[in-house]
Protein backbone atom coordinates (compact mmCIF):
# COMPACT_ATOMS: atom_id res chain seq x y z
CA UNK A 1 0.00 0.00 0.00
CA UNK A 2 1.10 3.59 -0.33
CA UNK A 3 2.77 5.10 2.76
CA UNK A 4 2.13 8.38 4.63
CA UNK A 5 -1.61 9.10 3.63
CA UNK A 6 -5.10 7.42 3.30
CA UNK A 7 -6.74 6.08 0.23
CA UNK A 8 -10.25 4.95 -0.49
CA UNK A 9 -10.00 1.38 -1.62
CA UNK A 10 -11.92 -0.66 -4.12
CA UNK A 11 -14.26 -3.43 -3.09
CA UNK A 12 -15.53 -5.85 -5.66
CA UNK A 13 -18.16 -8.56 -5.56
CA UNK A 14 -18.96 -11.09 -8.26
CA UNK A 15 -22.38 -10.56 -9.78
CA UNK A 16 -23.88 -12.14 -12.90
CA UNK A 17 -26.03 -9.05 -13.36
CA UNK A 18 -23.04 -6.73 -13.61
CA UNK A 19 -22.39 -5.01 -16.94
CA UNK A 20 -19.40 -6.51 -18.69
CA UNK A 21 -16.69 -5.06 -20.83
CA UNK A 22 -16.85 -6.76 -24.23
CA UNK A 23 -13.95 -7.32 -26.59
CA UNK A 24 -14.61 -7.59 -30.29
CA UNK A 25 -13.60 -10.42 -32.63
CA UNK A 26 -13.72 -13.20 -30.05
CA UNK A 27 -11.68 -11.49 -27.38
CA UNK A 28 -11.93 -12.84 -23.86
CA UNK A 29 -13.48 -10.76 -21.09
CA UNK A 30 -13.70 -11.34 -17.34
CA UNK A 31 -16.14 -9.63 -15.02
CA UNK A 32 -16.49 -8.97 -11.31
CA UNK A 33 -19.04 -6.83 -9.50
CA UNK A 34 -17.60 -3.91 -7.52
CA UNK A 35 -19.38 -2.68 -4.44
CA UNK A 36 -18.66 -0.13 -1.77
CA UNK A 37 -19.18 -0.96 1.87
CA UNK A 38 -19.45 1.61 4.63
CA UNK A 39 -21.23 2.26 7.89
CA UNK A 40 -24.06 4.70 7.22
CA UNK A 41 -24.65 5.76 10.82
CA UNK A 42 -22.17 8.66 10.81
CA UNK A 43 -20.08 10.95 8.66
CA UNK A 44 -16.39 11.61 8.81
CA UNK A 45 -14.66 14.85 9.63
CA UNK A 46 -11.87 16.16 7.43
CA UNK A 47 -9.36 15.58 10.23
CA UNK A 48 -10.28 11.90 10.31
CA UNK A 49 -9.85 11.60 6.56
CA UNK A 50 -6.43 13.24 6.84
CA UNK A 51 -5.47 10.88 9.64
CA UNK A 52 -6.49 7.90 7.54
CA UNK A 53 -4.55 9.30 4.60
CA UNK A 54 -1.45 9.67 6.78
CA UNK A 55 -1.75 6.00 7.63
CA UNK A 56 -2.25 5.15 4.00
CA UNK A 57 0.77 7.14 2.85
CA UNK A 58 2.77 5.43 5.53
CA UNK A 59 1.96 2.27 3.65
CA UNK A 60 3.52 3.10 0.30
CA UNK A 61 5.77 0.08 -0.29
CA UNK A 62 7.79 -0.66 -1.99
CA UNK A 63 -1.16 -18.04 -26.20
CA UNK A 64 -4.75 -16.83 -25.59
CA UNK A 65 -6.25 -13.62 -26.96
CA UNK A 66 -5.92 -10.81 -24.47
CA UNK A 67 -9.10 -10.38 -22.48
CA UNK A 68 -10.57 -7.71 -20.28
CA UNK A 69 -11.60 -8.00 -16.64
CA UNK A 70 -13.99 -5.28 -15.54
CA UNK A 71 -15.18 -4.36 -12.06
CA UNK A 72 -18.46 -2.43 -12.16
CA UNK A 73 -18.64 -0.16 -9.13
CA UNK A 74 -21.63 0.05 -6.79
CA UNK A 75 -22.38 2.28 -3.81
CA UNK A 76 -22.26 5.99 -3.01
CA UNK A 77 -19.21 8.14 -3.54
CA UNK A 78 -18.92 10.38 -0.46
CA UNK A 79 -15.59 10.98 1.29
CA UNK A 80 -17.40 11.81 4.53
CA UNK A 81 -18.75 8.29 4.85
CA UNK A 82 -16.22 5.89 6.34
CA UNK A 83 -15.97 3.54 3.37
CA UNK A 84 -13.72 1.22 1.44
CA UNK A 85 -13.74 -0.14 -2.06
CA UNK A 86 -12.85 -3.81 -2.21
CA UNK A 87 -13.21 -6.79 -4.46
CA UNK A 88 -14.22 -10.33 -3.68
CA UNK A 89 -11.67 -12.52 -5.42
CA UNK A 90 -11.94 -16.29 -5.82
CA UNK A 91 -8.86 -18.34 -5.04
CA UNK A 92 -8.09 -22.04 -4.90
CA UNK A 93 -9.79 -25.31 -5.88
CA UNK A 94 -12.59 -25.43 -4.98
CA UNK A 95 -12.79 -21.64 -5.25
CA UNK A 96 -13.11 -19.65 -2.03
CA UNK A 97 -13.99 -15.96 -1.92
CA UNK A 98 -11.99 -13.25 -0.15
CA UNK A 99 -12.58 -9.53 0.30
CA UNK A 100 -9.39 -7.69 -0.63
CA UNK A 101 -8.54 -4.00 -0.71
CA UNK A 102 -7.44 -2.62 -4.06
CA UNK A 103 -4.16 -0.79 -3.60
CA UNK A 104 -2.19 0.86 -6.39
CA UNK A 105 0.59 1.70 -3.94
CA UNK A 106 1.78 -1.88 -3.41
CA UNK A 107 2.29 -4.85 -5.65
CA UNK A 108 1.36 -8.16 -4.08
CA UNK A 109 -2.02 -9.79 -3.55
CA UNK A 110 -2.15 -11.34 -0.07
CA UNK A 111 -4.91 -12.81 2.07
CA UNK A 112 -5.15 -13.93 5.68
CA UNK A 113 -4.29 -17.58 6.10
CA UNK A 114 -5.18 -20.32 8.53
CA UNK A 115 -3.50 -20.03 11.94
CA UNK A 116 -2.79 -16.33 11.35
CA UNK A 117 -1.42 -14.54 14.41
CA UNK A 118 -3.16 -11.21 15.05
CA UNK A 119 -5.50 -11.36 12.07
CA UNK A 120 -8.97 -9.92 12.79
CA UNK A 121 -11.86 -12.37 12.92
CA UNK A 122 -14.71 -9.88 12.53
CA UNK A 123 -15.27 -6.71 10.49
CA UNK A 124 -17.22 -3.52 11.02
CA UNK A 125 -17.95 -3.60 7.28
CA UNK A 126 -20.49 -6.35 7.98
CA UNK A 127 -18.64 -8.90 5.87
CA UNK A 128 -17.70 -12.44 6.78
CA UNK A 129 -13.93 -12.71 7.05
CA UNK A 130 -12.29 -15.82 5.61
CA UNK A 131 -8.92 -17.54 5.91
CA UNK A 132 -7.09 -19.28 3.09
CA UNK A 133 -5.96 -22.83 3.85
CA UNK A 134 -3.49 -24.16 1.26
CA UNK A 135 -4.09 -27.73 2.41
CA UNK A 136 -7.77 -27.38 1.42
CA UNK A 137 -7.00 -26.36 -2.17
CA UNK A 138 -6.05 -29.15 -4.57
CA UNK A 139 -4.17 -26.70 -6.82
CA UNK A 140 -2.21 -24.74 -4.18
CA UNK A 141 1.58 -24.97 -4.38
CA UNK A 142 4.05 -23.19 -2.07
CA UNK A 143 6.81 -21.16 -3.71
CA UNK A 144 10.24 -22.59 -2.91
CA UNK A 145 13.36 -20.54 -2.26
CA UNK A 146 14.86 -21.66 -5.57
CA UNK A 147 11.81 -20.54 -7.58
CA UNK A 148 12.56 -17.47 -9.71
CA UNK A 149 9.30 -15.95 -8.46
CA UNK A 150 10.77 -15.86 -4.95
CA UNK A 151 13.52 -13.57 -6.19
CA UNK A 152 10.88 -11.52 -8.01
CA UNK A 153 9.15 -10.99 -4.68
CA UNK A 154 12.18 -9.10 -3.39
CA UNK A 155 11.13 -6.19 -5.62
CA UNK A 156 8.03 -5.68 -3.49
CA UNK A 157 8.92 -6.86 0.03
CA UNK A 158 11.56 -8.20 2.32
CA UNK A 159 11.71 -11.81 1.15
CA UNK A 160 13.33 -14.61 3.07
CA UNK A 161 13.50 -18.37 3.23
CA UNK A 162 12.47 -20.59 6.09
CA UNK A 163 14.02 -23.88 7.14
CA UNK A 164 11.19 -25.58 5.24
CA UNK A 165 12.38 -24.02 1.97
CA UNK A 166 9.36 -21.72 1.85
CA UNK A 167 9.65 -18.31 0.19
CA UNK A 168 8.53 -15.85 2.83
CA UNK A 169 7.76 -12.13 2.77
CA UNK A 170 7.39 -9.20 5.14
CA UNK A 171 5.59 -5.94 4.41
CA UNK A 172 6.29 -3.17 6.92
CA UNK A 173 4.22 -0.02 6.53
CA UNK A 174 5.04 3.51 7.58
CA UNK A 175 2.26 3.62 10.18
CA UNK A 176 3.87 0.76 12.11
CA UNK A 177 1.50 -1.94 10.87
CA UNK A 178 2.72 -4.90 8.90
CA UNK A 179 2.16 -8.42 7.70
CA UNK A 180 4.34 -11.43 7.05
CA UNK A 181 3.80 -14.88 5.62
CA UNK A 182 4.80 -16.97 2.62
CA UNK A 183 4.05 -17.05 -1.10
CA UNK A 184 1.64 -19.55 -2.68
CA UNK A 185 0.74 -20.30 -6.31
CA UNK A 186 -2.90 -21.13 -6.98
CA UNK A 187 -5.76 -20.41 -9.37
CA UNK A 188 -7.70 -17.14 -9.42
CA UNK A 189 -11.18 -17.58 -10.88
CA UNK A 190 -13.13 -15.10 -13.02
CA UNK A 191 -16.43 -14.77 -14.80
CA UNK A 192 -15.27 -14.73 -18.43
CA UNK A 193 -17.01 -13.39 -21.52
CA UNK A 194 -15.82 -14.61 -24.91
CA UNK A 195 -16.96 -12.52 -27.83
CA UNK A 196 -20.20 -10.58 -27.52
CA UNK A 197 -22.44 -13.01 -25.70
CA UNK A 198 -20.70 -15.96 -24.11
CA UNK A 199 -20.14 -16.08 -20.36
CA UNK A 200 -18.06 -18.93 -18.94
CA UNK A 201 -16.04 -19.62 -15.84
CA UNK A 202 -12.30 -19.25 -16.33
CA UNK A 203 -9.19 -19.17 -14.18
CA UNK A 204 -5.56 -18.16 -14.26
CA UNK A 205 -2.61 -19.06 -12.04
CA UNK A 206 -1.29 -16.32 -9.78
CA UNK A 207 1.24 -16.08 -6.98
CA UNK A 208 -0.06 -14.41 -3.83
CA UNK A 209 0.87 -14.02 -0.19
CA UNK A 210 -0.47 -16.23 2.58
CA UNK A 211 -0.45 -13.96 5.65
CA UNK A 212 0.37 -15.68 8.94
CA UNK A 213 0.95 -12.55 11.02
CA UNK A 214 -0.50 -9.02 11.11
CA UNK A 215 0.21 -6.04 13.35
CA UNK A 216 -0.94 -2.45 13.85
CA UNK A 217 -4.00 -1.07 12.04
CA UNK A 218 -4.34 -4.26 9.99
CA UNK A 219 -5.58 -6.00 13.14
CA UNK A 220 -8.37 -3.49 13.90
CA UNK A 221 -11.85 -4.86 13.21
CA UNK A 222 -13.60 -1.60 12.24
CA UNK A 223 -12.49 -1.74 8.57
CA UNK A 224 -11.07 -5.26 8.54
CA UNK A 225 -10.96 -7.20 5.29
CA UNK A 226 -9.30 -10.42 4.16
CA UNK A 227 -6.24 -8.91 2.53
CA UNK A 228 -4.72 -6.47 0.07
CA UNK A 229 -4.89 -6.53 -3.73
CA UNK A 230 -1.67 -4.82 -4.88
CA UNK A 231 -2.01 -3.08 -8.23
CA UNK A 232 1.53 -1.73 -8.63
CA UNK A 233 4.05 -2.21 -11.41
CA UNK A 234 6.35 -4.91 -10.01
CA UNK A 235 6.49 -8.47 -11.31
CA UNK A 236 4.30 -10.10 -8.65
CA UNK A 237 1.38 -7.71 -9.07
CA UNK A 238 -1.70 -9.44 -10.45
CA UNK A 239 -1.80 -7.14 -13.48
CA UNK A 240 1.81 -8.08 -14.30
CA UNK A 241 1.17 -11.80 -13.81
CA UNK A 242 -2.02 -11.88 -15.92
CA UNK A 243 -0.54 -9.78 -18.72
CA UNK A 244 2.60 -11.94 -18.83
CA UNK A 245 0.35 -14.95 -19.42
CA UNK A 246 -1.60 -13.16 -22.17
CA UNK A 247 -4.79 -13.29 -20.09
CA UNK A 248 -5.15 -9.50 -19.94
CA UNK A 249 -3.30 -6.60 -21.56
CA UNK A 250 -0.69 -4.70 -19.58
CA UNK A 251 -3.01 -1.79 -18.84
CA UNK A 252 -5.81 -1.00 -16.42
CA UNK A 253 -8.34 1.81 -16.16
CA UNK A 254 -11.03 3.21 -13.92
CA UNK A 255 -13.90 5.68 -14.03
CA UNK A 256 -15.36 6.65 -10.64
CA UNK A 257 -18.68 8.46 -10.30
CA UNK A 258 -18.62 11.68 -8.34
CA UNK A 259 -22.39 12.04 -8.00
CA UNK A 260 -24.45 10.96 -5.01
CA UNK A 261 -25.21 7.71 -6.78
CA UNK A 262 -21.54 6.75 -6.66
CA UNK A 263 -20.17 3.68 -8.39
CA UNK A 264 -18.23 3.47 -11.64
CA UNK A 265 -16.03 0.86 -13.26
CA UNK A 266 -12.48 -0.47 -12.99
CA UNK A 267 -11.09 -2.44 -15.92
CA UNK A 268 -8.11 -4.74 -16.38
CA UNK A 269 -7.76 -3.42 -19.89
CA UNK A 270 -7.97 -0.04 -21.61
CA UNK A 271 -11.00 2.23 -21.58
CA UNK A 272 -11.09 3.91 -24.98
CA UNK A 273 -12.11 7.59 -25.18
CA UNK A 274 -11.24 10.02 -28.01
CA UNK A 275 -10.55 12.90 -25.58
CA UNK A 276 -7.89 11.09 -23.56
CA UNK A 277 -4.66 13.01 -22.98
CA UNK A 278 -1.49 11.23 -21.86
CA UNK A 279 1.62 12.08 -19.91
CA UNK A 280 4.64 9.78 -19.45
CA UNK A 281 5.29 7.91 -16.24
CA UNK A 282 8.52 8.87 -14.53
CA UNK A 283 10.78 5.88 -15.31
CA UNK A 284 12.26 3.57 -12.68
CA UNK A 285 9.79 4.52 -9.94
CA UNK A 286 7.92 1.98 -7.79
CA UNK A 287 4.71 4.05 -7.85
CA UNK A 288 2.70 5.88 -10.49
CA UNK A 289 4.80 9.05 -10.60
CA UNK A 290 4.10 11.83 -13.09
CA UNK A 291 5.98 15.01 -14.01
CA UNK A 292 3.73 17.81 -12.77
CA UNK A 293 5.20 21.05 -14.16
CA UNK A 294 2.89 23.92 -13.22
CA UNK A 295 -0.46 24.77 -11.61
CA UNK A 296 -2.75 27.49 -12.99
CA UNK A 297 -5.94 29.15 -11.70
CA UNK A 298 -8.28 30.40 -14.43
CA UNK A 299 -5.33 30.25 -16.83
CA UNK A 300 -2.91 32.17 -14.62
CA UNK A 301 0.17 30.12 -13.69
CA UNK A 302 1.00 30.19 -9.99
CA UNK A 303 4.44 31.27 -8.84
CA UNK A 304 5.67 27.82 -7.84
CA UNK A 305 9.14 26.66 -8.81
CA UNK A 306 9.04 23.58 -11.09
CA UNK A 307 11.67 22.04 -8.82
CA UNK A 308 8.98 21.67 -6.15
CA UNK A 309 7.39 18.88 -8.20
CA UNK A 310 10.53 17.05 -9.32
CA UNK A 311 10.71 13.35 -8.51
CA UNK A 312 13.35 12.12 -6.09
CA UNK A 313 13.52 9.61 -3.24
CA UNK A 314 10.81 11.32 -1.16
CA UNK A 315 9.35 13.84 -3.59
CA UNK A 316 7.21 13.87 -6.69
CA UNK A 317 3.64 13.52 -7.90
CA UNK A 318 1.83 10.21 -7.44
CA UNK A 319 -1.51 9.10 -8.86
CA UNK A 320 -3.30 6.84 -6.38
CA UNK A 321 -6.94 5.88 -6.70
CA UNK A 322 -6.88 4.63 -3.11
CA UNK A 323 -6.23 8.03 -1.53
CA UNK A 324 -9.34 9.77 -0.19
CA UNK A 325 -8.21 13.38 -0.51
CA UNK A 326 -5.45 15.07 -2.53
CA UNK A 327 -2.09 16.35 -1.28
CA UNK A 328 0.21 19.14 -2.45
CA UNK A 329 3.91 19.46 -1.83
CA UNK A 330 4.39 21.69 1.20
CA UNK A 331 6.14 24.44 -0.80
CA UNK A 332 3.17 24.64 -3.20
CA UNK A 333 0.35 24.33 -0.69
CA UNK A 334 0.28 27.86 0.77
CA UNK A 335 0.66 29.46 -2.67
CA UNK A 336 -2.25 27.44 -4.00
CA UNK A 337 -4.60 28.02 -1.04
CA UNK A 338 -3.84 31.76 -0.92
CA UNK A 339 -4.52 32.09 -4.64
CA UNK A 340 -7.87 30.30 -4.36
CA UNK A 341 -8.87 32.42 -1.35
CA UNK A 342 -7.98 35.62 -3.16
CA UNK A 343 -9.96 34.58 -6.24
CA UNK A 344 -13.18 34.11 -4.23
CA UNK A 345 -12.68 36.84 -1.62
CA UNK A 346 -15.63 38.89 -2.91
CA UNK A 347 -18.10 35.99 -2.89
CA UNK A 348 -17.45 33.85 0.18
CA UNK A 349 -16.65 34.19 3.85
CA UNK A 350 -13.36 32.47 4.71
CA UNK A 351 -12.98 30.61 7.99
CA UNK A 352 -10.58 28.12 9.52
CA UNK A 353 -12.10 24.91 10.91
CA UNK A 354 -9.83 22.54 12.85
CA UNK A 355 -6.81 23.92 11.07
CA UNK A 356 -8.32 23.61 7.58
CA UNK A 357 -9.02 26.51 5.22
CA UNK A 358 -12.76 26.60 4.63
CA UNK A 359 -15.31 28.87 2.95
CA UNK A 360 -18.90 29.75 3.86
CA UNK A 361 -21.09 30.23 0.79
CA UNK A 362 -24.69 30.08 -0.36
CA UNK A 363 -23.67 29.75 -4.02
CA UNK A 364 -22.59 26.77 -6.07
CA UNK A 365 -18.84 26.22 -5.78
CA UNK A 366 -18.77 25.50 -9.48
CA UNK A 367 -19.99 29.04 -10.17
CA UNK A 368 -17.62 31.01 -7.95
CA UNK A 369 -14.43 28.97 -7.44
CA UNK A 370 -11.69 29.12 -10.10
CA UNK A 371 -10.86 26.37 -12.53
CA UNK A 372 -7.57 24.73 -11.59
CA UNK A 373 -5.25 23.33 -14.26
CA UNK A 374 -2.60 20.77 -13.37
CA UNK A 375 -0.13 20.89 -16.25
CA UNK A 376 2.02 17.81 -16.89
CA UNK A 377 4.93 16.87 -19.14
CA UNK A 378 3.95 16.33 -22.75
CA UNK A 379 1.29 19.04 -22.71
CA UNK A 380 -1.37 17.05 -20.82
CA UNK A 381 -3.61 19.14 -18.54
CA UNK A 382 -5.99 17.93 -15.84
CA UNK A 383 -8.74 20.50 -15.24
CA UNK A 384 -10.35 20.58 -11.78
CA UNK A 385 -13.65 22.23 -10.92
CA UNK A 386 -14.43 23.56 -7.48
CA UNK A 387 -15.90 20.29 -6.24
CA UNK A 388 -12.76 18.49 -7.47
CA UNK A 389 -10.61 20.24 -4.88
CA UNK A 390 -13.15 21.23 -2.19
CA UNK A 391 -15.18 19.09 0.20
CA UNK A 392 -18.46 20.13 1.81
CA UNK A 393 -18.01 19.82 5.57
CA UNK A 394 -21.39 20.95 6.99
CA UNK A 395 -23.82 23.88 6.97
CA UNK A 396 -24.14 26.99 9.14
CA UNK A 397 -27.34 29.01 9.07
CA UNK A 398 -28.32 27.79 5.63
CA UNK A 399 -24.88 28.38 4.14
CA UNK A 400 -22.60 25.51 3.14
CA UNK A 401 -19.12 25.12 4.58
CA UNK A 402 -16.68 23.96 1.92
CA UNK A 403 -13.15 23.07 2.98
CA UNK A 404 -9.97 22.71 0.97
CA UNK A 405 -9.67 19.09 -0.15
CA UNK A 406 -6.02 19.53 -1.01
CA UNK A 407 -3.91 18.98 2.10
CA UNK A 408 -0.18 18.95 2.77
CA UNK A 409 2.13 16.39 4.33
CA UNK A 410 4.36 18.40 6.66
CA UNK A 411 8.04 18.07 5.90
CA UNK A 412 7.53 16.20 2.64
CA UNK A 413 7.44 17.21 -1.00
CA UNK A 414 4.81 14.69 -2.07
CA UNK A 415 1.89 15.61 -4.30
CA UNK A 416 -0.72 12.82 -4.33
CA UNK A 417 -3.74 12.83 -6.61
CA UNK A 418 -6.44 10.82 -4.85
CA UNK A 419 -10.10 10.07 -5.52
CA UNK A 420 -11.12 13.68 -4.86
CA UNK A 421 -9.53 14.77 -8.15
CA UNK A 422 -9.75 11.47 -10.04
CA UNK A 423 -13.55 11.15 -9.87
CA UNK A 424 -15.65 11.89 -12.95
CA UNK A 425 -12.68 11.04 -15.15
CA UNK A 426 -11.52 8.06 -17.13
CA UNK A 427 -8.01 7.24 -15.88
CA UNK A 428 -5.89 4.84 -17.95
CA UNK A 429 -2.68 3.29 -16.56
CA UNK A 430 -0.96 2.18 -19.78
CA UNK A 431 1.93 0.17 -18.37
CA UNK A 432 2.97 -1.15 -21.78
CA UNK A 433 3.32 2.42 -23.06
CA UNK A 434 4.60 3.71 -19.67
CA UNK A 435 2.09 6.53 -19.54
CA UNK A 436 -1.11 7.59 -17.78
CA UNK A 437 -4.05 9.17 -19.55
CA UNK A 438 -7.31 10.80 -18.51
CA UNK A 439 -10.42 12.49 -19.81
CA UNK A 440 -13.43 14.09 -18.13
CA UNK A 441 -16.34 11.65 -18.36
CA UNK A 442 -19.79 10.92 -16.96
CA UNK A 443 -18.92 7.67 -15.20
CA UNK A 444 -22.57 6.68 -14.91
CA UNK A 445 -22.40 5.99 -18.67
CA UNK A 446 -21.07 2.85 -20.36
CA UNK A 447 -17.46 2.92 -21.57
CA UNK A 448 -15.66 1.40 -24.53
CA UNK A 449 -12.83 -0.99 -23.71
CA UNK A 450 -9.93 -2.43 -25.68
CA UNK A 451 -8.00 -5.66 -25.21
CA UNK A 452 -4.80 -4.02 -26.38
CA UNK A 453 -2.73 -0.92 -25.62
CA UNK A 454 -1.11 1.68 -27.81
CA UNK A 455 1.39 -0.91 -28.99
CA UNK A 456 -1.13 -3.26 -30.54
CA UNK A 457 -4.28 -3.46 -32.60
CA UNK A 458 -7.32 -1.96 -30.88
CA UNK A 459 -10.55 -3.93 -30.94
CA UNK A 460 -13.36 -2.70 -28.72
CA UNK A 461 -17.09 -2.43 -28.26
CA UNK A 462 -19.33 -0.81 -25.69
CA UNK A 463 -19.06 -2.13 -22.15
CA UNK A 464 -22.32 -3.33 -20.64
CA UNK A 465 -23.89 -4.50 -23.92
CA UNK A 466 -23.94 -8.24 -23.16
CA UNK A 467 -26.91 -10.05 -24.64
CA UNK A 468 -29.62 -11.67 -22.53
CA UNK A 469 -29.28 -15.10 -24.10
CA UNK A 470 -28.01 -18.13 -22.20
CA UNK A 471 -24.56 -18.67 -23.74
CA UNK A 472 -23.47 -21.17 -21.11
CA UNK A 473 -25.38 -23.84 -23.05
CA UNK A 474 -23.28 -23.42 -26.21
CA UNK A 475 -21.30 -26.72 -26.45
CA UNK A 476 -18.49 -25.22 -28.57
CA UNK A 477 -17.87 -22.49 -26.03
CA UNK A 478 -18.06 -24.85 -23.09
CA UNK A 479 -15.43 -27.03 -24.75
CA UNK A 480 -13.24 -23.99 -25.37
CA UNK A 481 -13.57 -22.99 -21.71
CA UNK A 482 -12.49 -26.47 -20.56
CA UNK A 483 -9.46 -26.37 -22.88
CA UNK A 484 -8.46 -22.86 -21.70
CA UNK A 485 -8.71 -23.84 -18.06
CA UNK A 486 -6.69 -27.03 -18.61
CA UNK A 487 -3.86 -25.18 -20.37
CA UNK A 488 -3.79 -22.44 -17.71
CA UNK A 489 -3.48 -25.08 -15.00
CA UNK A 490 -0.66 -26.72 -16.94
CA UNK A 491 1.15 -23.39 -17.16
CA UNK A 492 0.74 -22.82 -13.45
CA UNK A 493 1.77 -26.18 -12.13
CA UNK A 494 3.70 -27.88 -14.90
CA UNK A 495 7.39 -27.88 -15.79
CA UNK A 496 7.46 -24.36 -17.23
CA UNK A 497 7.00 -21.24 -15.16
CA UNK A 498 4.59 -18.64 -16.46
CA UNK A 499 6.92 -15.79 -15.42
CA distance to 2, 37, 92, 129, 449, per residue, from 53 (Å) = 9, 18, 33, 24, 31
With 0-12 CB in 10 A as exposed, 13-18 as middle and 19+ as buried, what is 184? buried
With 0-12 CB in 10 A as exposed, 13-18 as middle and 19+ as buried, what is 355? exposed
Strands 349-353 and 356-361: antiparallel
Which active-site residues does the annotation give? 103, 320
CB 29 within 8 A of CB 69: yes
Name residue 402's beta-bridge partners: 359, 392
- Give me the half-sphere count of Cα atoms (radius 13 Å) on the Cβ side of residue 298: 11
CB 8 within 8 A of CB 323: yes
CB 279 within 8 A of CB 272: no
Whole-angstrom distance, CA of residue 281 vs CA of residue 300: 26
CA distance to 34, 278, 288, 306, per residue, from 434 (Å) = 26, 10, 10, 22
- Give me the half-sphere count of Cα atoms (radius 13 Å) on the Cβ side of residue 10: 33
Let me know the angle formed at the C-alpha of 209 by 85 and 93, rounded to the nearest 5 degrees. Answer: 90
- Give me the half-sphere count of Cα atoms (radius 13 Å) on the Cβ side of residue 183: 33
Closest CA to 463 of 70, 75, 25: 70
Let me know the angle formed at the C-alpha of 452 by 446 and 454, rounded to the nearest 5 degrees. Answer: 105
Amino acid sequence: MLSPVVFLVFLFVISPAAPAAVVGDGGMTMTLQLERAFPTSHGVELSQLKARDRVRHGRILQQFPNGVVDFPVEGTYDPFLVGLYFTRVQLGSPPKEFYVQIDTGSDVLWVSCASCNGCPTSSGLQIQLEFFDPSSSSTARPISCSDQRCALGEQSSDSGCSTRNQCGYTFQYGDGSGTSGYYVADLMHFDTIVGNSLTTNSSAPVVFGCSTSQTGDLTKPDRAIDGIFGFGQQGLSVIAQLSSQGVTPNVFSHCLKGSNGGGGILVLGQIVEPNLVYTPLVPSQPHYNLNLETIALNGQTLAISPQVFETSSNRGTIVDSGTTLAYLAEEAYEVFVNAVSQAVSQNVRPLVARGNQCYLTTSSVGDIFPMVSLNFAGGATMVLRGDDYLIQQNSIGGAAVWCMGFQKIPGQGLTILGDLVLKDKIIVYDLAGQRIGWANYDCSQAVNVSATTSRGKTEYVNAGQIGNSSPRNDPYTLLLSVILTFVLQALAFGTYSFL
